[in-house]
Amino acid sequence: MRKNDIKRIFSLMIALLILSSCDSMNQINDRGRINIQSLSDIDQAIQDMTLEEKAGQLIQAERSSISISDITKYNIGSILSGGGSTPNPNTPEAWVSMINQMNVAALQSSSGIPIIYGVDAVHGNNNVKNATIFPHNIGLGAANDPELMKAIGIATAKEMLAVGVDWNFAPAVSSAQDIRWGRTYESYSENIQRVASLVVPYIEGQLSEGILTTTKHFIGDGYTTFLTGEDDNLIDRGDVTMTKEQMLDGNLSAYIAAIGANTSAIMASFNSVNGVKVHGDKSLLTDLLRDELQFKGLVVSDWEAIHKIAPTLNEQVALAINSGVDLLMEPYKWKDTYNAIIYNVNNGNISQERLDEAVKRNLVLKFEAGLFEDGLLKEAGIVGTQESKKIAREAVSKSLVLLKNENILPLEKNVKIYLIGPASDNVGIQCGGWTFSWQGEMDPNLNNGISLKDALNTVLSSNGGELVSNPNDADLIVLAIGEKPYAEMHGDTDDLSLDGPLSLTDNIKAVELAQTFNKPILTIMIAGRPLLISDYLDHWDAFVMAWLPGTEGNGITDVLFGDKPFQGTLPFTWPLTNEQASDSMNMDNYNKIEHQFKYGDGLTY
Ligand code: BGC
Ligand code: BGC
C-alpha cells in the first residue's frame, strides 16, 4: 500500500469519526453529489450544480463570522483568516482541526465540494504562534537574491501545510512609488524589474510544495497619488493619476512574470485608476488581464473592496463579477452577497455563462490544491522548524544594507558595547505589521524571537565581549532606532522624520544621548522604510539599515561581526526630505537631485 493510500484511509477514518461524533451517520449518505476526479469532470459538475450551489462557491467568508452549519447550508466555497484571526489555542493541531471540521461540513453540503482556506502568510506563516517570521518584502528586495526567494517560498509553504491551509494571499508585487504609503514594506522595491525577478522564484517555491499563490494587488498598487487616499487615508486605496499607459509601463512586467510562473490567483486592488475603481473596471480585470495577458487562474476581490464600486450591494456584486472577479472576499456580508449573486443571476444582471466561468475557476483552483483527491482532511505538522529559522537568519543577513562605515565594522567579538535606543530589544518592532495581528504588536518578546540585544549578547558573552551598563566602559555605542508596527492605511504618513507619528517615541532622545558620550556610534535602523536622517548622519560612524527583519535577530550579528558579508543594496531611494519621498516617480530629474542615498546604494566588506 502506498503512503498516500494509508494517509487517505486514515483521513477517511478520522472523517467518519468526526461525522459520527457530531452528526448522525445518516448524513454520510447525504454527502454532496459532486465528485471531481479529473479536470475534465469540472464542466459536467457545473451542469449538475444548482444556482444556489454555484453562488456559494463564489463566496469567501471570514472564519470568525460563519458557523459550521452555514458552511453546509450555503455550500460555501472558501474561508479566510483575516490578519490575526486564529483558532484558540493558536496551535497547528487547532488550525487543522478547525479546517477539517469545516471540510467535513462542506462535504455534507448538497454539492459536497470542499472549501479552500486562505491566509496572508506574507512573511512566513505570520498568524501562527511559534511560526518563523521572515523579513518583510522590503528587506528581501534589498537582499535581491532569487535563490533565497525560492527557499523562503518553500519554507513558508511548509509552515502553511503544517496548519492545513491551502492558499496564500501572497506575493505582493506592489511597487511603492511614494514611501509615505503604509504598505511600502510589503513592496520588494520601487524598481519593478527587481520585483519581477524576485516574485517568480517565490511563486515557484510555494507551488512546488502544493501551496497556491495570489499575486496582488492588480493593478496600480503603489502608484496612487499622495492625498488621493480612500476615506481619510493619505495615499492607501487612492487614485492613480498618471496615464494608464504610464502606470502599465511601471506595473505590468511584474504581472507578466507572475503569470509566466503560473500564479494560481490574482487579487484585485483597492485603488482606482483615473477615478475608476479596479474592482469595477472590466477593461483592466478582463480585457487586459484575461485577453491580453492570458491569465487563466482565479481573480479574488480584496477585503470588502467591492463595497466602494457602486451604491447598493446588488449593484456592487453584479459590477464586480461582470468586471472579472471570480471569488468575493466578503468577510462579514457573505450571506447578503450570496443572496445578491442569486438575485443578479435571476434578473439577468449576471449571465449564466459568466457565472459558470467564475465557478469553474474556483473548482479548478481547488483541483490544483489537490482538494478533491487526498487533501480533504489534513494532518498537523510543525512550525518554527530549525530548517526555516536557518533560512530566515540567512535572509536577515542578506537584507542588511551598509550605508556608512568609517572604520567601525566588522566588530571584534570581544568588544564592549553600550546599547541604547527604542529598537534595541524588541522583537515586535523587528516584525512590524502582519505579525500575529493585522497591525502587529509592540511586544518585546513576541514569539520568543531573537532581539538585537539577545543576538549581541550571545556573541559577546561567549567571546570575552560584553554589553556594558556604563557608557564610559564602552568601546562603542550601538544605537537602535526605528518605526512602530503598522499595516495598510495606518502606516500612511506625511512625516518620515525620526520623530514623525509612526517613528518610535524615544528615537530622538536616544540619538541625542548617544552623541553625548564621545564614543564611536554604530546606528542600526529597524523600520519599514527609510526615515529622514540628514540631521544626524554626520554624528554616526557607521549606519546600517535592517528593515523589518522578523524573529531571527541573529542574522544581524552574523554580519556585524563579519561572519557574513554585507550584500544588500537599497531597493528604494532614500530621501533627504519628506517632499522627496515620491521621488522615484520623477525619474527625469532623478540624477539631478541630491538624495540621502540613491537606489542601489550599499557598501560591502
Ligand atoms: C489587504 C490584502 C489582504 C486581505 C486579507 C486586505 O485588507 O489589502 O492584502 O490579503 O486584506 O487579509
Ligand atoms: C483584517 C485584515 C484586513 C483588514 C482590512 C482587518 O480587520 O484583520 O486581514 O486586511 O481588516 O481592512
Q: Are residues 461 and 502 in the same domain?
A: yes
Identify the DSSP state of 491.
G
Last residue of a domain, one of 348, 368, 388: 368
Torsion on CA atoms 200, 201, 202, 204, rounded to nearest 10: 90
Query: pTM to 2 decimals?
Result: 0.94
Question: What is the phi/psi pair of residue 142, to 5°?
Answer: -65, -40
Active site residue 594: no
| 42-75 tens-digit pLDDT | 999 999 999 999 999 999 999 999 999 999 999 9
Strands 276-277 and 272-273, bridge-based pairing: antiparallel
Q: Is residue 374 part of a domain?
A: no
Rounded to 5°, the CA angle 229-230-234 comes to 30
The pLDDT of residue 12 = 44
Q: Is residue 25 part of a domain?
A: no
CATH number at residue 222: 3.20.20.300
Q: Which domain holds residue 248?
A: 37-61+118-368
CA of 80, nearest ligand number? 1
Length of the chain as a residue count: 605
User: Own/partner pairs for 37-46, CB < 8 Å, 24+ apart?
Assistant: 37/372, 39/364, 39/367, 42/360, 42/363, 42/364, 42/367, 43/360, 45/363, 46/356, 46/359, 46/360, 46/363
pLDDT band for 30, please (50, 70, 90 cuts): low
Q: Are residues 361 and 483 in the same domain?
A: no
Share of the chain above pLDDT 70, in %: 94
Average pLDDT, the chain: 94
The pLDDT of residue 24 = 34
Q: How far apart are CA 227 and CA 217, in angstroms?
A: 20
Q: Is residue 344 part of a domain?
A: yes
Q: Are residues 51 and 186 in the same domain?
A: yes
The pLDDT of residue 590 = 85
| pLDDT at residue 13 is higher than 60 | no
Q: Is residue 170 part of a domain?
A: yes
Q: Are residues 474 and 560 in the same domain?
A: yes
- Cell numbers given for 10: 486514515
Q: Are residues 472 and 584 in the same domain?
A: yes
Q: Is residue 543 part of a domain?
A: yes
Q: How many folded domains does the chain comprise?
A: 2
The pLDDT of residue 5 = 44
| 378-395 tens-digit pLDDT | 999 999 999 999 999 999
Q: Are residues 292 and 404 in the same domain?
A: no
Ligand 1 centroid–CA 279 distance in Å is 14
| 471-518 tens-digit pLDDT | 999 999 999 999 999 999 999 999 999 999 999 999 999 999 999 999
Q: Are residues 183 and 251 in the same domain?
A: yes
pLDDT band for 250, please (50, 70, 90 cuts): confident
Last residue of a domain, one of 346, 368, 390: 368
Ligand 2 centroid–CA 421 distance in Å is 31
Q: Are residues 362 and 411 in the same domain?
A: no
Q: Is residue 113 part of a domain?
A: no
Q: Integer distance in angstroms from the first to the last C-alpha of the chain?
A: 55
Residue of 228, 139, 225, 150 lying closest to 188 (CA atoms): 139
Q: Is 303 in the pocket of ligand 2 (CB under 6 A)?
A: yes
Q: Is residue 240 part of a domain?
A: yes
| 121-132 tens-digit pLDDT | 999 999 999 999
The pLDDT of residue 468 = 98
Active site residue 412: no
> How many other C-beta atoms can be found within 10 angstroms of the C-beta atom of residue 579?
8
| 87-133 tens-digit pLDDT | 999 999 999 999 999 999 999 999 999 999 999 999 999 999 999 99
Q: Are residues 209 and 288 in the same domain?
A: yes
Q: Are residues 322 and 432 in the same domain?
A: no
Instruction: Give me the catalytic one of 178, 221, 281, 302.
Output: 302
Q: Are residues 280 and 231 in the same domain?
A: yes
Q: Are residues 447 and 501 in the same domain?
A: yes
CATH number at residue 539: 3.40.50.1700
Ligand 1 centroid–CA 115 distance in Å is 19
Q: Is residue 6 part of a domain?
A: no
pLDDT band for 33, please (50, 70, 90 cuts): confident
Average pLDDT on 536-559 reads 98
| pLDDT at residue 17 is higher than 90 | no
Q: Which atom of ligand 2 is nearest to the CA of 120?
A: 9
Least confident window among 300-314, 393-407, 578-592: 578-592
Residues with CB under 6 A from ligand 1: 82-83, 120, 169, 216, 302-303, 488
Q: Which atom of ligand 2 is nearest to the CA of 303?
A: 5
